[in-house]
């Protein structure tokens, strides 16, 4: 009797971003939900200094992996597709990985950098590719693509950190000319509302811009919208599905990092109280947004439903959303009929399917014998 080998899943977590701790919570949930009959989970932690470590049976928690795991690297060698110990020698075998599951939120994990390394290494991985990851992280470029795709967005301005530091008065004039207060100021390339400020008057603006500039090379300023916050989960590669919508009801003035992770009181309403027509529009916009950035695998699409007008705005697309069992992305799928363990199965299947599809692509041209003479001379 033959048994099918379990897939070895490298769960990438931690990272160098301000969302390091959030990643540990998400990765813990993913590892717990991996069916041990189908998968062998390999925890691969990235410390805040960027060093990679692989866990062993001795580490019982992901924080232990980051403290006492074995240092490894992933060479950009598609013939290997394995984690290579930094300390070579006997007793330090390579760790082959069948598919990676990145649960890295923010910079150096969700922004296309790790995805590029995984592409070079020739290994399947869950979620968006290099382009969609980079665009998903850069909210300025993302909003421009949404606008080009005919999707409604909140009016915004984007400035580089250099622009702000070189000519603060000019930036303040442009913001004052375009917007009435309040406005939101946030880093253009970070998630989890890190560095975000609701600015009520001109006097508060410089400090908010300084704060955002600490976390990114680009800063976004956008009109404040008094709105309900609606979210839709998206899943698929060529064939894309949208979940039922849910609503975030924050207990604070807005849904910032503290409200998301540090305090209780925020409510998730699933399904959101919407008309059938609104549900259809939210789902359509979510799929269109996903396609606009060339998304694959998964994403969570966040919306504003303006209270005074009922107008829908696409806020942003998150390509590696929070992934704890109580996070909005998996909860929306659970309410749509796809429970957490099955969702993980589907994401791994999508990763392997996309990798197989990519392998059909020709990346070089084989010249006929003797045809390369001119090139070789």
Enzyme catalytic residues: 19, 192, 261, 300, 302, 316, 318, 322
- Please state the separation of Cα 44 from the chain's center in Å: 17
Beta-ladder partners of 241: 235
Write out the E strands in the chain: 7-14, 39-46, 52-54, 70-73, 82-85, 95-96, 99-102, 156-160, 183-187, 197-199, 218-223, 227-236, 240-242, 246-249, 267-269, 297-306, 312-318
The DSSP string of 83-109 is EEESS-STT---EE-SEEEE---STTT
Beta-ladder partners of 298: 235
Residues 6+ apart with CB under 8 A from 265: 250, 251, 252, 259
* Residue 194, both tokens: 């890190």
CB 74 within 8 A of CB 117: yes
CA torsion angle for 328, 246, 154, 186 (degrees, to 10)? -20
CB 190 within 8 A of CB 138: no
∠ at Cα 187 (185, 192), nearest 5°?
100
The pair phi, psi for residue 192, each rounded to 5°, is 55, 25
């Amino acid at each position: 009797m033959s048994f099918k080998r379990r897939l070895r899943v490298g769960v990438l977590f931690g990272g160098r971003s301000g969302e390091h701790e959030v990643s540990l919570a998400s990765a813990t949930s993913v590892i717990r939900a991996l069916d041990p009959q189908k998968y062998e989970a390999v925890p691969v932690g990235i410390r805040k200094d960027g060093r990679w470590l692989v866990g062993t049976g001795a580490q019982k928690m992901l924080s232990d992996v980051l403290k006492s795991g074995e240092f490894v690297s992933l060479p950009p060698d598609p013939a290997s597709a394995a984690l290579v110990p930094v300390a070579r020698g006997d007793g330090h075998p390579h760790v082959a990985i069948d598919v990676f599951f990145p649960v890295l939120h923010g910079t150096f994990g969700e922004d296309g950098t790790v995805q590029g390394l995984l592409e070079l290494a020739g290994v399947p991985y869950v979620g968006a590719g290099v382009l969609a990851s980079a665009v998903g992280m850069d909210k300025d470029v993302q909003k421009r693509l949404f606008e080009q795709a005919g999707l409604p967005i909140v009016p915004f301005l984007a400035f580089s950190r250099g622009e702000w530091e070189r000519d603060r008065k000019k930036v303040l004039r442009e913001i004052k000319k375009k917007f009435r207060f309040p406005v939101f100021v946030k880093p253009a390339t970070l998630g989890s509302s890190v560095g975000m400020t609701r600015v009520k008057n001109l006097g508060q603006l410089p400090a908010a811009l300084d704060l955002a500039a600490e976390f990114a090379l680009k800063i976004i300023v956008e009109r404040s919208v008094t709105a309900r916050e609606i979210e839709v989960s998206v899943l698929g590669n060529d064939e894309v599905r949208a979940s039922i919508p849910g609503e975030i009801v924050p207990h604070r003035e807005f849904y910032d990092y503290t409200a998301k992770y540090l305090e209780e009181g925020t409510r998730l309403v699933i399904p959101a109280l919407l008309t059938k027509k609104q549900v259809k529009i939210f789902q359509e916009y979510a799929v269109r947004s996903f396609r606009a950035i060339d998304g694959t695998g998964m994403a969570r699409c966040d919306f504003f439903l303006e209270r005074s007008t009922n107008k829908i705005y696409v806020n942003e697309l998150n390509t590696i959303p929070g992934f704890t069992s109580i996070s909005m992305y998996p909860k929306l799928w659970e309410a749509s009929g796809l429970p957490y363990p099955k969702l993980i199965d589907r994401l791994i299947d999508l990763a392997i399917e996309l990798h197989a599809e990519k392998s059909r692509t020709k990346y070089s041209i084989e010249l006929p014998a003797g045809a390369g003479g001119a090139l070789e001379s």
